[in-house]
Amino acid sequence: MDFWIYIWAVVIIAVFSVVAGWSSRRLLETKVGWIRSVITAAVVFLLVSPVAYWALDEAGVMSGNRLVVEGPLAVVFLALTLGWMFAVVVVVLVTLEFLWPTRPFVNPVLVVREAFRRRDRARRYGQIIAIASRHGLGMYRRRRTGAGDDFPTALVAAMNEAGVTFIKIGQVLSARDDLLPPDLTSALATLQMESTPIPWTEARAAIEAQLGAPLDTAFAEVDEQPLAAASVAQVHAATLHGGDAVVVKIQRPKARAQVATDLDIVERLARDAERHTQWGRDYGTVALAAEFGRALREELDYRIEAANTEMLRGAVARSSGLTLRVPRVYDQFTTAQMMVQERADGIPFSRVDASTLDPQRARQIADGVLDAAFEQIAVRGVFHADLHPGNLMLAPDGAVTLIDFGSVGVLERSMRRMLLPLLVAMANEDDVSATDVVLMLVAAPEEGTLDQAALQHDIGVILTRVHNTRVDENIFRALVDVMRRHRLALPPALLLVFRTLASLEGSLRRLVPDYDMVGRALARAPHYAREIGSPRSLAMSVQTHTALMAEQLRQLPRRIGTLTQQLENGTFRVSLRSFDDGDERSWVETLVARLTTTLVGIALVVVAVFLSVAGGGPNLTPEVPVYPFIGAVVGLGGLLLLLRSLRVAFVRRRR
C-alpha cells in the first residue's frame, strides 16, 4: 500500500511540475527555460506542501489524512490551494530571472568552436603582449631624450612584427592627422608589409595546392627567390609555357587564420570601447572595426583583387593622357589565395631617387599620374584607392604601372556630379558655393545642430590659406577635418577619395619633392567638369528627365480624377504619419495592454485585502467565511497579473 502512495505522490509532483512550468512560461510571456521552470515547480511543491496541508487543516477542509468537506466545495478549496502554490512558483521564477536570467541553449558545436577561438585569442594575446614588451611598450613610459621621443619608433617596430592586421591598422591611422599627433602619423606612414619570406618548399606546396597540379603544368619557370615578401603573401617571378613574363602572388598558408584571430580581437575591443567609453560611441568604433574587417577580408580573397584589376583596366583603357598601365590577370591560374598577373616593368616610387631624374620630365610624369587619378575618380568613377609609393611602378620609358588592386574605390555618378562642382568652387576660392555643395554631399545633420555660418567660415579659411600661402597642407584632409569638427557624416566613398588623394600627394613628392598637387588638382578641376558634363551626356540626361516628366504628366489626369471621385463620394481621407507604421501601433498597443494589466492587478489585490479584512458572509466551512475565500481567489488573480507585468517590464528594460 505504501508503495502505491509513493507512486501517486511522484505522479502528482510530476504533473504539477510540468503543468506549473508550462503555465508559468505562458503567463510570463518570456523565454524562461523549461528545465528551470519544471525544477522550480517541483521544489516549490515539496517545500510548500506542508504549509498547504496546514492551511487546509486550519480551514476545516481536511482532518488528518482525509477530506472533511466533500463534493464540489472540496474541489474548489484544493484548486485554490494549488493556485497559490502556482503563484509561489511564479514568484520564485521572477526572482530567479531577475538575479540570473535564463541563457539560451547553445549548440554544442558552437561551444566547441568558441572554445577553440578563445584558445586562439589567448595565444594571440600572449604573442602581442610579448611583442609589445620586447619593444618597450608593455609598461611604456614616455622617455624624452635629446633625440626626441622614441614611442613612435617603438610602436611602428611592434606593429611591423605583429603582422598584417596591425600593419593595416597602422596604415589606416597614419592618415588620421585629426586624431593623432604629427610625429606619430609620420612614423605610422613608414609601416611596410615586408616580412621574412617563407621557404621555397612551403611556397611551392602552397602554389601547387592552389593549382591542384604539379608546378610545371602551369609554369615553365618560377624563381625560387621572391621578388617581395609580405605578412600576407609573397611574390615570385615566373614564366608561362607560352613565354609570358608573370608574377605569382601566393598567400601564406597561416595568414588567414592569423587575420581571423586578430580581427576577432579587434572587433571585441571595439565593442568594449563603444560600450564603456564616450569616444568609442562618438567615433562608432564597432562600425569602424566592422568596415576595417570587411576590407581586410576582401584583400585576402585574390579573386576580388583580380576583378578589381580588370575593372580598372577597362577604366584606364578609356582614359587619355599619360601612358598608365594595369597588369593583365591570368584568370585560369587565379584562386582565392593565389593570383597570376603580368609582370610590371620598372621600380616602385618608394625606391626612386628624385635627384637622378630630369626635373622637367619628373614633373610631367607627376602631372600625368595626377591627371590620370583624377580622371579615374571624377570621370570614370573607378579608381585605385591605395596609391602609396609602393603601388606605383616607374618604367625606364616613363610609363607608370599600377599594382596591388586589393583596394579599388567606386564613386557613383550622382556623387561625381557633386564632387566636381566642389573642386571648381575650391579652385575659385568660392567658400559660399563650396559650403553649399558640402551640405548636399554629407548626411543631413539633426535640426538645430549645425552652425552653417561657422562651417562656411572654416571652409573659407582653408581656401584662403591654400590660395594665398605656400602652406604644406593637403586641402582634402583639411576639409575632412572641418566636416568632422562640425559632426557632418561624410559618405564613405567620398572619404575614400580624399584619403586616396592624400596618399597620392606623398607618392608624387617622391618624384618632385616640392610638388604642388593641390594647385594642379584645382587647376584641372574645370577641365574634368566640362568632360563629365559633355553635350552628349547633358542631352541624354535631358532626354531621361523629359521621359520621366512626360510619364508623370500622363498619369496626372487619372490621379486628379481619383481624387475628385473620393471628394464627391466622401471617401477622401488623410493619413497622419504618427503611428501609421505597424511597429509604432504595436508599441502603443503593447504599452496600453501592460498599463491595463497592471491597473487591473492592483485593483484585484486591493479588493482582496478589503474582502479578507472585512470577513463575514455565509460560512463555506466552520472556519472559512465566504468573503475571505473570495478575497483569496481575487488576490491570487491580481498577484499573477502583477507578476506578469513586472517580469515583462524587467525583460524589456534589460533589452
Residue after which a domain boundary falls, among 154, 188, 222:
188
Identify whether 277 is part of a domain.
no
Whether residue 388 is found in the same domain as residue 408: yes
Whether residue 394 is found in the same domain as residue 507: yes
Q: Within 13 A of 596's CA, how many CA atoms are on the CB side?
A: 6
Whether residue 466 is found in the same domain as residue 553: no
Identify whether 580 is part of a domain.
no
Whether residue 404 is found in the same domain as residue 321: yes
Whether residue 529 is found in the same domain as residue 556: no
**What pairs with residue 392 in β-bridges?**
402
**pTM value > 0.75:** no
The total number of structural domains that make up the chain: 5
Question: Which grid coordinates belong to 375?
Answer: 580622371
Whether residue 390 is found in the same domain as residue 358: yes
Identify whether 578 is part of a domain.
no
What is the distance between the alpha carbons of residues 251 and 195, in angstroms, rounded to a whole number? Answer: 13
Whether residue 86 is found in the same domain as residue 129: no
What is the distance between the alpha carbons of residues 186 and 209, in angstroms, rounded to a whole number? Answer: 40
Identify whether 123 is part of a domain.
yes
Neighbours of 35 (CB within 10 A): 11
Contact present, 222 and 420 (Cβ < 8 Å):
no
Neighbours of 190 (CB within 10 A): 13
Main-chain dihedrals φ then ψ at residue 199, nearest 5 degrees: -60, 150
CA neighbor of 496 nearest in space, from 379, 375, 385, 372: 385
Whether residue 621 is found in the same domain as residue 544: no
Residue-level pLDDT at 127:
82
Residue-level pLDDT at 144:
43
Residue-level pLDDT at 245:
93
Query: Which residue range(s) make up the domain with 153?
Result: 108-188
Residue-level pLDDT at 420:
78
Identify whether 575 is part of a domain.
no
Whether residue 361 is found in the same domain as residue 482: yes
Identify whether 401 is part of a domain.
yes
Residue-level pLDDT at 164:
77
Rg of the chain taking only CA atoms, in angstroms: 37
Report the alpha-carbon angle 271-277-283, nearest 5.
Answer: 70
Whether residue 357 is found in the same domain as residue 464: yes
Residue after which a domain boundary falls, among 35, 64, 99:
99
Residues in the chain, pLDDT under 50: 1, 139-148, 653-655
Residue-level pLDDT at 283:
65
Residue after which a domain boundary falls, among 69, 99, 129:
99
Whether residue 521 is found in the same domain as residue 550: no
Whether residue 389 is found in the same domain as residue 442: yes
Contact present, 459 and 434 (Cβ < 8 Å):
yes
Q: Which helix (H) or strand (E) holds 153?
A: helix 151-162
Identify whether 289 is part of a domain.
no
Helices 285-299 and 255-276: crossing angle in degrees, nearest 10, is 170
Identify whether 114 is part of a domain.
yes
